[in-house]
Structure 1
Amino acid sequence: MNRTFDPVSLRLFIAVCEEGNIARAATREALVASAVSKRMALLEAELGMPLLLRGRRGIEPTPAGQTLLRQAREILNLMARVHAELSAFTQGVVGNVRIVASVSALALGVPRDVAAFLESHARLHVSLTERVGKEVVREVREGTADLGVVWDAVGTGDLATLPYRGDRLGVLMPLSHPLAARRSVSFAQALPHPAVSVAPGGLLDELVRRQAGLLGASWAPRMEVASFEAAEHIVAAGLGVAIVPIGATGNGGGTLVCKPLKDAWARRQLVIVSRSEPWLSAPARAVRQHLADVAR
């Protein structure tokens, strides 16, 4: 039987699944809890199957609910994109493309490449948002972003990928540092020195900790910062060295140098991720192709 899904019910269902609680979902959507609960009961009755499990840890979707959750996100995201693109015509802008990118990708050229694209496509609107690697993949998969640019070490699953730019990790240090005179540095040589960790818990941090473990050492940075820019300031103050992508930071006004890491794992490949062709708008395909072309 063909069924027509109410967008409001789908939005509330997503909120309940994400919050794991009727009351929190109601607060998030500015409704009373009883109204949300009634909507969920009606949705289950219309479909003739349980969609939510209520347990000690809160509310979780059943297997059928997980399928509906995935499809509901796609439906609402598609509706939002249709609305955004049609609204853009009234503003003289033809097409909207949302890109999410990791901090490394932003540091290594995505903003510059997008700007070059817009020079010849002035009627398009492109938004660019920073996300950590796993969030980049999640937002592209769920359709809240059209394109993502991320390190290929992130599991991209069934998403389409195109090569973007390659990069290499280096050791950022003051010019006065004992290792600064070397042409390149091995990770083993850098390990004994006080260090600064960038974006703790992120892919780069995980990689560095794993490589330290393989060398039988622990990665115990003196300080943790959220961005490469912050790391540059900390390193310039002489508080430690930082493992960063070469080119992601400046030279601290001539006081810093970034020496390439010799280790094979220090070479990385960034990729452009997207959903399959039927889900990509023509503007998104054009931006994706431009990014791939300029990187190549």
Structure 2
Amino acid sequence: MRDFDLTTLRLFVSVCETGNIARAGERASIVGSAISKRLAQLEHQVGTPLLARKRHGVVPTAAGQTLLEHARGMLDSAARIERDMESYVAGARGQVRILASVSAMTESLADDVAAFLQMPAHRSIQVDMEERVSPEIVRGVRDGLASLGVCWDAADLGALQARAYRSDHLCIVVPPGHALAKRKSVRFEQTLDYEHVSLPVNSAVQVMLQRAAARLGRSLIHRVIVTNFEAALRVVRAGLAISLVPREVAEGPAAVYGLHLIPLAEPWAQRRFIVCYRDEALLSPAARLLVEHLAAQATP
């Protein structure tokens, strides 16, 4: 198949979003007939109809909907390439993209990156960060979507290389008056009698908890699934469930909400994070400097 033309894809997305070729033409300052010609060529290129004509406009066919999703991704990637190149034109000496877990992002990564960028020698370096779950971080770094990934060291890295970063400590958070609230520590098995509020089930920590429960012949009861720790603590404050979260994240909000933090008495309660990448020898100078800075924050 021949290479897709980005201008045609951009017009195709606009037509799908407006549902009307004429309106898409007004948005792009192009006559409708020119757009129709491009779309016809695109349909010929892929070998299937992409738009269905309706009484008051057009809608994407099943094939068109699939192409629409891919086209948006391609256009987003093209826009990022343009921004990255503009940073060099403006005098930036490097650009680094990081994919990071919610734990790393919430606890320390943002502060560590900010400290790195505030150093006089690094002020011309640009760092972009995006939150992902651990499997997506590994896949994104492996596929070249980001230079660096920051995730839990329990993630399956495959052929990726890694350096040690920081660590945290998992604990149980419960509301006042809960049956576990007065305990000095708690075993994971003891928490399985209660409903949990959890992060997405494909995150590294949730996969680990499910496996730990399975080894005990039990299952983890998810009452609520959220995407961040702030939401999890709000659910606990409401008395709907308990949650297993890093102590480093929960200490401040727990004091405000009046929640109880109970250390988790398990050998895996201390988690270690890593900075991963495809090949250190192939890292850009900016990425290598950032890796060294983050590795210097490693906890024993």
Does structure 1 retain, via aligned residues, the 8 Å contact 2:133–2:202?
Answer: no
- The TM-score with structure 2 as length reference comes to 0.71
Structure (1 or 2) with the larger CA radius of gyration: 2
Q: Deviations over 1:134-158 (max 9, x none)?
A: 1111111111111110111111111
Does structure 1 retain, via aligned residues, the 8 Å contact 2:162–2:274?
Answer: yes
Q: Which whole-Å CA distance do the structure 1 matches of 2:271 and 2:5 have between them?
A: 39
Q: Which whole-Å CA distance do the structure 2 matches of 1:36 and 1:274 have between them?
A: 39
Change (3 A) 1:252 1:11: farther
Aligned to 1:161: 162
Does structure 1 retain, via aligned residues, the 8 Å contact 2:194–2:221?
Answer: no
Size of the aligned set, in residue pairs, is 244
SS in 1 for 2:222: coil
Does 1:233 find its partner at 2:228?
no
Which deviates further from its counterpart, 262-271 or 30-39?
30-39
Q: Deviations over 1:252-280 (max 9, x none)?
A: 51511221211123232211001213431
Percent identity of paired positions between Structure 1 and Structure 2: 36
Does structure 1 retain, via aligned residues, the 8 Å contact 2:192–2:221?
Answer: no
Aligned to 2:3: 9
Q: CA deviation at 1:34?
A: 5.7
1:1-296 pair list within 5 angstroms: 9=3, 32=39, 35=42, 38=45, 86-120=85-119, 121-249=122-250, 250-251=253-254, 253-296=256-299
Aligned to 1:47: none
SS in 2 for 1:264: coil
Where does the alignment leave 5 or more consecutive residues of structure 1 unmatched? 1-5, 16-22, 41-57, 59-72
SS in 1 for 2:296: helix
* Amino acid of the structure 2 residue aligned with 1:113: D
Does structure 2 retain, via aligned residues, the 8 Å contact 1:232–1:252?
Answer: no
Change (3 A) 1:11 1:156: farther
SS in 1 for 2:180: coil
* Amino acid of the structure 1 residue aligned with 2:107: L
Q: Which whole-Å CA distance do the structure 2 matches of 1:276 and 1:97 have between them?
A: 15
Q: Which whole-Å CA distance do the structure 2 matches of 1:243 and 1:290 have between them?
A: 29
- The TM-score with structure 1 as length reference comes to 0.72
Does structure 2 retain, via aligned residues, the 8 Å contact 1:233–1:252?
Answer: no
